[in-house]
Amino acid sequence: MPRPTKKEPLAQSSGKRPVRSLRITMPTAPIASPAPSHAAAKPVTEEDVNKLSISDLTIDTPLRPLLRPQRVPATPFHFLSLPSELRIKIYAYFFADIPTLLDLNPDNYKRIHKKLGLMRVCKQVHDEATYAFYSTRTFRLFPTYPIRLFKKKPLLARLKPHQRQCLTSLELRLGISWNAPPKLWAVNPALGLRDCGDVTKLKVYIDFDPSDITWKDFRAEGFYEGFCGRLMTSVIEELPSVDTVEFDARPCVKKSGDMMQALISVAQEAGVAIEWGPDGHWNDSELYETRLTASGFLAKCLCFLGNDL
């Protein structure tokens, strides 16, 4: 017969099921290695920060891929090791696009100022480039264009004394404002002619001759001729090194006119050589005779306005 099993005691009459103990296992994460200690790290210095490039300090798109690689020669070119003759030719080529005649012009800053930055390289280049530039250009004594610059300080007076010492030629342009010359057209110490010790040639350019009979009713008799003569005399007296005066003019100016004769007399009295420039045809033909004709009047008006015939 089967052996009777022992019955378990019944639960209490509370009506609740017996509660068994549950064992809940929580997932475990891998144990991370301990963070390195910063105590032994080398402190960041200002020198380390200065070595960082701008791309390393940018949180946006790095700038390094956008930069063009610079071509750096393996060894720098020693410009000053070249012979002086070659350096002078290089200076002449560098300044070739600057006009040989300079006046007080609003465009000088755009055309000339940037080029003169070459003189800031070093003392030797400064001295060589300064002489190469100023000795090969003619500077106008008094501004003539535009008219608003008549009241401005002349370009020669704006130069420094060591720059004026390099000049070799100056230009005196006459024939404008013949009823009322600008007050600044005067020779005085502020003009700086005493510093121009190397100037050997004075160029005199005549735009217009008011002594022509055509303009008899528009001018004071002999006033402008006398003014130009005195002005030229004062310039030559301040420049004892001048040995040549070069006259040039527009085709409408006659060599036999009163104004030209007055200027020629000043040059002869100063004992300097006289040369004639390429622009003046010195045409004393019938077109420029003293009688007033329709064609002659038109030609002289065009000359007065500054147009070559």
pLDDT band at 33 (very low <50, low <70, confident <90, very high): low
Whether the per-residue pLDDT at 309 is higher than 50: the answer is no
Q: Which of 267, 176, 259 is nearest to 213 (CA)?
A: 259
**Going by C-beta distance under 8 Å and a sequence separation of 6 or more, which residues neighbour residue 139?**
102, 103, 155, 156, 159, 167, 169, 170, 171
The pTM assigned to this predicted structure is 0.65
Paired strand residues for 172: 204
Whether the per-residue pLDDT at 110 is higher than 50: the answer is yes
CA distance 250 to 279: 6
pLDDT band at 286 (very low <50, low <70, confident <90, very high): very low
DSSP helix/strand/coil, 202? strand
Cβ neighbours around 87 below 10 Å, total: 18
Length of the chain: 309
Whether the per-residue pLDDT at 182 is higher than 90: the answer is no
Res 50: pLDDT: 73
What's the burial of 66, exposed, middle or buried (CB within 10 Å: 0-12/13-18/19+)? exposed
Q: Which of 178, 180, 184 is nearest to 140 (CA)?
A: 184
pLDDT band at 294 (very low <50, low <70, confident <90, very high): very low
For CA atoms 106, 108, 114, 120, the dihedral sign is: negative
Let me know: does 237 contact 206? Beta carbons within 8 Å: no
CA distance 80 to 96: 21
Res 281: pLDDT: 58
